[in-house]
Amino acid sequence: DAGVTQSPTHLIKTRGQQVTLRCSPISGHKSVSWYQQVLGQGPQFIFQYYEKEERGRGNFPDRFSARQFPNYSSELNVNALLLGDSALYLCASSLGFGRDSTTGELFFGEGSRLTVL
Amino acid sequence: DQQVKQNSPSLSVQEGRISILNCDYTNSMFDYFLWYKKYPAEGPTFLISISSIKDKNEDGRFTVFLNKSAKHLSLHIVPSQPGDSAVYFCAAMTDSWGKLQFGAGTQVVVTP
């Protein structure tokens, strides 16, 4: 079975440009979360989507946006790129969402490595 | 504001010995804690978790201990194996499985 797949795996952009990262969750998973991992730090929560609705947003500026499609895949968009946006962007999917779910284990993709020059 | 802290960036341990990784948190609303393991060029993979209503959870060579009063948890790996060499992240959750707060990670190196 395919795990969480992300594309592209690596990309280089320049300041001010825009980037779109894509994620396909594990088949049957309806929840997708996005995380940013800067070198030397742990992943930091950006967004969570469940059943195509935003269910949570981390402390990131409005330049960051995301959406989830009817097939539960997701895109993360970052506008007006800054040097500080250089990071590994991780997508994770889970079967459940709420605290009462017993199947909430997060499965991560390998990430998209973004370099902003 | 770092609500989950792993104060040891690295740990070196001999094969066969015990590895002890520590994690502290500040938010008393956290009620579920997880450990993830990450190899280079791979995404984090779930290792073990513990609910705040428990103080210990075991899974094979891995045991997690939770001390709620001290807001402290630890991961014990016994015995350590070379394949355990990886970065280990402590994570905490409040209201949603998808919204985790991670620590900065501890790089574990298991030497022969």
A1-60 confidence digits (pLDDT tens): 679 999 999 999 999 999 999 999 999 899 999 999 998 899 999 999 998 999 889 999
Does the CB of B48 have a partner CB in chain A at under 8 Å? no
pLDDT-based confidence at B95, cuts 50/70/90?
confident
Identify all chain B residues contacting A94, using CB atoms and an 8 Å cutoff.
Answer: 97-98
* Predicted pLDDT of residue A105: 76
How many helices and strands, by DSSP H and E, does chain A display? 0, 11
Q: What is the DSSP string of chain B?
A: ---EE---SEEEEETTS-EEEEEEE--TT--EEEEEEE-TTS--EEEEEEETT-SEEEETTEEEEEETTTTEEEEEESS--GGG-EEEEEEEESSBTT-EEE---EEEEEE-
* Predicted pLDDT of residue A79: 97
A62-96 confidence digits (pLDDT tens): 999 999 999 999 999 999 999 999 999 999 998 87
* Predicted pLDDT of residue A104: 55
* B38 has pLDDT over 90: yes
* Predicted pLDDT of residue B83: 95
Identify all chain A residues contacting B102, using CB atoms and an 8 Å cutoff.
Answer: 35, 42-44
Interface test with B, best of A49, A106, A108, A110 (most B CBs within 10 A): A106
Q: What is the mean pLDDT of residues B60-70?
A: 97
pLDDT-based confidence at A106, cuts 50/70/90?
confident
* B97 has pLDDT over 80: no
* Predicted pLDDT of residue B31: 86
Identify all chain A residues contacting B43, using CB atoms and an 8 Å cutoff.
Answer: 4, 90, 92, 108-111
Work out the minimum CA distance from B36 to partner chain A, whole angstroms: 10
**Rounded mean pLDDT of chain B?**
93
CA distance B90 to B96: 16
Does the CB of B97 have a partner CB in chain A at under 8 Å? yes
* A102 has pLDDT over 90: no
B3-34 confidence digits (pLDDT tens): 999 999 999 999 999 999 999 999 998 989 99
pLDDT exceeding 90 applies to what percent of chain B? 82
Residue A28 vs residue B62, higher pLDDT: B62
Identify all chain A residues contacting B91, using CB atoms and an 8 Å cutoff.
Answer: 42
pLDDT-based confidence at A101, cuts 50/70/90?
low
